[in-house]
Amino acid sequence: MRGSGSAPRRILDGTEKPVDTEKRAPVTEHGVAGVEKLESPTIENLFRLAPGLYSGGQPDGEAGLDALRDMGVRTIISVDGTPPPVEAARKLGIRYVHLPIGYDGLRRDKLPIMIKAVRELPGPVFIHCHHGKHRGPAAAAACAIARNNWSRPEAEAWLKIAGTDPAYRGLYRDVRELAIPTVAETKELPAVFPESVPAPSLVEAMLGIDRLHDELKGLAKREWKNTNDARTAPPEIAVQLLEAYRELSRNSDSERQGSGFQGQLKTAEQAADALRVELEQLAKSPDSKETTMRANQALDRVSKSCKTCHGEYRDK
């Protein structure tokens, strides 16, 4: 990569600059050759990964969709939980494919359809999550491996360029290891590309949060002993809980509950983030009694937040 540790920038002008992928420079400590940071007032963290492949945050209303149309984008793949503006995109000649994933990793049941979409649907293709920093870049990395012959080191280097938090171990792990279906395998799949998947109801989302909370309580009883599977490591479960609160705050059912409920979710999010920090420290010093105590105290705050929210909202 040229220059320092960030991708080169250019003003978004709707034009494509061809890149010779056969003469791609090797991965360096600075990133991946060909990746460009684009400036757009309506799309966060907008990047061009390769000819015809983009990654970024959720387009900001009609202006964001207009910007994508002006770039020539024909297909949008959303891995965010929020149902996308299918009709507005369709009016601009853009097709949406909605394949929501979590922060714990790429979904094995959805990855083959995602790869089929990026290989077979009209391009250029734009892949996004909410802010374009974590789930979207991981999905785009898998697509670049499949569509543009990126190596695994290139894909992982791209996550760092995009700002994907190392705390999302599952996303990094799957980009490094998850099997990418072959062209023959994706051709055999039915061409069924969901345009919009309903967001979980408020009750379903809270039940998911309860399951993560129970898992954390079980880990605390076992003195936060780590596991060999990154998916079940204490910091990873805390990250999932944190992001579950963030996702719930964007849920339309949650917004209808009013500012009081949103305030409770913010308190819960802060408690979960504090727990994540302590568990990250504990993973580095697993025998530290002081850090274990702080992690237990942080979990107590999470539990208190859950109990308060249940009493005021769920149980009623």
Instruction: State both tokens at 166.
Output: 């190392």
Query: Tens of pLDDT along 262-298?
Result: 888 888 888 888 998 999 888 888 888 899 999 999 8
Instruction: State both tokens at 309.
Output: 């929210």
Instruction: Identify the residue with better confidence: 311 or 241.
Output: 241
* Radius of gyration (C-alpha) of the chain in whole angstroms: 20
Confidence of residue 231 (pLDDT cuts 50, 70, 90): low
Q: Are residues 164 and 85 in the same domain?
A: yes
User: To 5 degrees, how large is the angle CA 51–CA 53–CA 59?
Assistant: 135
Residue 4 counted as domain residue? no
**pTM for this entry:** 0.74
Beta bridge partners of 162: none
CB within 8 Å of 206: residues ≥ 6 apart: 248, 314
Residue 170 counted as domain residue? yes
Q: Are residues 224 and 96 in the same domain?
A: no
Rounded-to-integer distance, Cα 206 and Cα 91, Å? 35
Q: Are residues 110 and 222 in the same domain?
A: no
**What is the extent of the structural domain holding 23?**
9-188
Confidence of residue 26 (pLDDT cuts 50, 70, 90): very low
Instruction: Identify the residue with better confidence: 232 or 293.
Output: 293
Domain count, the chain: 2
DSSP string, 27-69: PBTTB-TT-EEEE-SSSTT-EEEETTEEEES---HHHHHHHHH
In 3-state terms, what secondary structure has residue 102? strand
Q: Are residues 229 and 267 in the same domain?
A: yes
Q: Are residues 182 and 276 in the same domain?
A: no
CATH code, 306: 1.20.120.230
Q: Are residues 158 and 115 in the same domain?
A: yes
Q: Final residue of a domain: which of 188, 220, 243?
A: 188
Distances (CA, A) of 56 to 148, 205, 209: 18, 25, 27
In 3-state terms, what secondary structure has residue 132? coil
Q: Final residue of a domain: which of 132, 160, 188?
A: 188
The whole-number pLDDT of residue 288 equals: 87
CATH code, 76: 3.90.190.10
pLDDT beyond 70 at 21: no
Q: Final residue of a domain: which of 142, 162, 188?
A: 188
Rounded-to-integer distance, Cα 22 and Cα 43, Å? 30
pLDDT beyond 90 at 181: yes
Q: Are residues 183 and 208 in the same domain?
A: no
